[in-house]
Amino acid sequence: MLQIKHLQKKYGDKIILNIDHLEIANGINHLKGINGSGKTTFSKIIAGLIPYEGEIVLQNTYSPIKTKLAYRKRVNFAESEANYPEFLTANDLISFIGKAKGADKESMSFITNTFGVDEYLFDHVGTYSSGMLKRLSLTLAFLGTPSLILLDEPFNTLDTAAIDTLKNMIVSFHASSVNFILISHQDISELGVPIDARYLVHNHTITKE
């Protein structure tokens, strides 16, 4: 599903990631590591948000550099702690991202209602609690027809009902051939999430467990 070769990321002279070769297969994958290990940096690189050195190929075809628009349309990402302009509403963001991702109104409405964002759809983001922001972030990550969804610490700040909703959405979308990388220091298998493969970020690289 995802091939990575000679990937390197530095901040100044400090090496954050130095991955010679890594292949991540189709499925629901768990990427774990201690805080500061480079998990979030890796997720932002794969999401096409920050520059890097090396090669990334999705489904043997798409690259965040060579086929940027096609790649970004197929890769969705929810940050651990989303930060949106306070004057926007959930409806503004869902409409914008949904259009960019080619989502139809029916699917946008379904995902919005499933995560409960419809309850505060027209309220300004600056009034949201952390849990409301998380549900909005997750809603945006499921819009369109992605091949890969990256979720960074997806279960943080969610209550029990929202955790169950997210688990069900992951399973449902995976059944429709959507792949996942769940980035978390937690043992998310304890939450009942079916995991196909686990990867560990350590010593600036990533290895399959």
Across 52-61, 160-169, 187-196, least confident range: 187-196
User: What pLDDT is stored for residue 192 in this prediction?
Assistant: 87
List % helix, strand, coil for the chain (3-state, nearest 5).
Answer: 35, 30, 35
Q: How many CB atoms lie within 10 A of CB 128?
A: 20
Dist CA 169 CA 10 (whole Å): 35
pLDDT higher than 90, residue 20: yes
Please determine, for residue 202, whether its predicted confidence score (pLDDT) is greater than 90.
yes
% pLDDT > 70, the chain: 100
Q: Are strands 179-183 and 197-202 parallel, antiparallel or unpaired?
A: unpaired
Residue-level pLDDT at 35: 84
pLDDT per position as a tens digit, 77-130: 999 998 999 999 999 999 999 999 999 999 999 999 999 999 999 999 999 999
What does pTM read for this prediction? 0.95
What is the pLDDT at residue 36? 84
Q: What is the mean pLDDT of the chain?
A: 95
pLDDT at position 186: 82
DSSP, collapsed to helix, strand or coil, labels residue 6 as strand
Q: What is the pLDDT of residue 190?
A: 84
pLDDT, mean of residues 2-16: 95
Q: Which domain holds residue 22?
A: 2-208
φ, ψ of residue 192 to 5 degrees: the values are 90, 15
pLDDT at residue number 191: 86
At residue 189 the predicted structure's pLDDT band, cuts being 50, 70 and 90, is: confident
Give all strands (DSSP E) within the chain, no chain letters.
Answer: 2-11, 14-24, 28-32, 53-58, 75-78, 148-152, 179-183, 197-202, 205-208
Report how many domains make up the chain: 1
CATH code for position 22? 3.40.50.300
Whether the per-residue pLDDT at 187 is higher than 90: the answer is no
| pLDDT at res. 107 | 96
pLDDT per position as a tens digit, 171-180: 999 999 999 9
pLDDT average, residue stretch 14-18? 95
